[in-house]
Amino acid sequence: MEEFKVQTAKHTVPNSSPMRPHSEHPKDHAAKRLSSASNGTSDGGAGAKTPVEITALEESFRRFAIHGDTRATGRDMNGKNWSKLCKDCGVIDGKSITLTDVDIVFSKVKNKSARTITYSQFKEALAELAAKRFKDKSSEDATQELYKMIEGKSPVIAGVTRAVASPTVSRLTDTTKFTGSHKERFDETGRGKGKAGRVEVVDTSGYVSGYKHAGSYEKKVQKPPHKPM
């Protein structure tokens, strides 16, 4: 009886791929891409990185995009920072472009359900405002003029408000000119008396009010001590 050897053919499993090494985990790869984007680089062939040139306009866009938000990445800008950019860079002149115009353009270029605009949408918004700001120039020239107003600019940080000396304030805070019960709350130097200036304290010393020689009588009638013989 002849023996038959059964040979099993090796069939490849469709859609199979080699196992990923641990260093190329999807999460690690995504983090690598995010880091590359934030550093202004992009992945090239054979793992090389090619620098991405950032224009002065985009640099200003990123500065305003991250203003006041530590979690911002600089890739998109909210409406508050958009309005601040237009104000700090002089885009809003109060005549041809107002704050209302800036808000309308922002709502026009952003996505329907989004609250921020990307850099490309940012440039579209500037083109809309340039046509209103520089009406006597062509569309391209007007846009370039508006770019120059923004390039290299950074958010203006307001300083601490200083108190300004005013005659009205000085007159209201001068204790020497107070009358009535308010006058009794401060002494001759202008320092407050505290509770004594707000509550009427009853004098039980026996002297009339305003008597300046209180306690002098005891000193006058006090007999000197007798000296021993």
CATH of residue 68: 1.10.238.10
In a domain? residue 134 = yes
Q: How many domains does the chain have?
A: 1
64: exposed, middle or buried (Cβ count in 10 Å: 0-12, 13-18, 19+): buried
Q: Is residue 74 part of a domain?
A: yes
Domain-embedded: residue 135: yes
pLDDT in tens, 11-48: 444 454 445 554 444 445 434 433 444 454 444 444 44
Domain that holds residue 135: 56-150
In a domain, 75, yes or no: yes
Question: Which of 96, 101, 175 has the alpha carbon at shortest distance from 142?
Answer: 96
In a domain, 160, yes or no: no
Residue 35: half-sphere exposure toward Cβ, Cα within 13 Å: 7
In a domain, 60, yes or no: yes
Q: With 80 as the cut, is the pLDDT of residue 119 above it?
A: yes
In a domain, 78, yes or no: yes
pTM tops 0.85, yes or no: no
In whole angstroms, give the CA distance from residue 142 to residue 135. Answer: 8
